[in-house]
Amino acid sequence: MKKEYILKSLRNAFGVLAYITGVALVMFNMEHAFDNEPSFLVPVLMLLLFVTSAAITGSLVLGKPIMLYLDNQKKGALTFLLLTLAWLVVFAVLILVFLFLF
């Protein structure tokens, strides 16, 4: 069961990383897509993106632990959540190392 949690939490953390990478690429190239005139729709778009991102990443990080908790597997829920968070920390550290080395 523990190995299954490790692999599934890695998959979920990688999903979060892939989603964040995609959003960052879109935001990084956003100025090329739009002109520089201020628009009311830009903050609306950013807030919609924020809410959508919170829902997507929240479901990837918290979805399985909540399901386990509701199935009365409290220890498994906590383990899964901590493993997912640990993978995210590992990814962050790897990105920091990459940024410092290159």
Helix (H, G, I), strand (E, B) or coil at 16: helix
* Cα separation, 2 vs 35, whole angstroms: 51
pLDDT given for residue 93 in this prediction: 98
Q: How many Å separate Cα 93 from the centre of its chain?
A: 15
Residues in the chain: 102
pLDDT in tens, the chain (102 residues): 689 999 999 999 999 999 999 999 988 888 777 767 778 888 898 899 999 999 999 999 999 999 999 999 999 999 999 999 999 999 999 999 999 999
* Cα separation, 17 vs 10, whole angstroms: 10
Burial of 22 (0-12, 13-18, 19+ CB in 10 A): exposed
pLDDT given for residue 1 in this prediction: 66
pLDDT given for residue 30 in this prediction: 81
